[in-house]
Amino acid sequence: MLYIGFEVNFSFIKHEAFRGLSLQQLNLYKYMFAPDLQPQTLAIIGCVAPRGPVQPVLEMQGRFAARVLKVDMYGNMAM
């Protein structure tokens, strides 16, 4: 899912961890994972404000999320 815009909200997520929160109020582990969302199957990529180019940070977040969410051929999560 790609989200581009000026107002950041998570109204499409029905979990109470995201209800009515702004970008600054989110409590995300590694700026990607909501700690109280179980199972961890949602990674929010791009909620960072680096002091340089954002594209390398997004790529690193995407690679990390892919590693965390990787499922082996038997369906076991590789967390």
Rounded to two decimals, the pTM is: 0.68
- Whether the ω angle into residue 56 lies within 30 degrees of 0, i.e. cis, is no
pLDDT-derived band at 13 (thresholds 50, 70, 90) equals confident
What count of other Cβ atoms lies within 10 Å of the Cβ of residue 34?
Answer: 19
Lowest mean pLDDT among 9-18, 29-38, 55-64: 9-18
The pLDDT, as a whole number, for residue 75 is: 64
pLDDT-derived band at 54 (thresholds 50, 70, 90) equals confident
The pLDDT, as a whole number, for residue 16 is: 76
What count of other Cβ atoms lies within 10 Å of the Cβ of residue 40?
Answer: 16
Q: How far apart are CA 21 and CA 9, in angstroms?
A: 7
Residue % of the chain over a pLDDT of 70: 72
Q: How far apart are CA 27 and CA 37, in angstroms?
A: 11
